[in-house]
Copies of this chain bind each other. A is one copy, B any other.
Amino acid sequence: MKRYQGYISDLDGTLYRGEEVIPGAPEAIAELRRRGCGVVFISNKPLERRRAYAEKLTRLGIPTVSDEVINSSLVLARYLANSEHGMAGATVFAIGEPPLLEELATAGLRLSDVPEEIEVVIASFDRTFDYHKLNIGFQALRRGARFLATNADPTCPVEGGEIPDAGAVIGALEGCSGRKVELVVGKPSPLIMEMALERLGLPAEACLMVGDRLETDIVMGHRAGMSTALVLSGVTRREDLSRSSIRPDYVLESIADLPRLIS
Q: Does chain B have a CB within 8 A of A99?
A: no
Interface contact A131-B129, CB-CB below 8 Å: yes
Grouping DSSP codes into helix (H, G, I), strand (E, B) and loop, the A interface class, with mixed when no group exceeds half, is helix
A178 CA to B154 CA, complexed, in Å: 8
A155 CA to B130 CA, complexed, in Å: 16
Closest Cβ neighbor of A168 among chain B residues: B176
Q: Does chain B have a CB within 8 A of A90?
A: no
Residues of chain B within 8 A (CB-CB) of A16 are none
- A171-B175, A171-B176, A175-B154 known; A164-B134 Cβ under 8 A: yes
Q: Does chain B have a CB within 8 A of A58?
A: no
**Which residues of A are at the interface with B, using a C-beta cutoff of 8 A?**
126-131, 134-135, 138-139, 142, 154-155, 161-165, 167-178
A-B contacts, 24 of them at CB < 8 A, read A127-B131, A128-B131, A129-B130, A129-B134, A130-B130, A131-B164, A134-B164, A134-B168, A135-B163, A135-B164, A138-B163, A154-B176, A154-B177, A164-B175, A164-B176, A165-B176, A167-B175, A168-B172, A168-B176, A171-B172, A171-B173, A171-B175, A172-B175, A174-B175
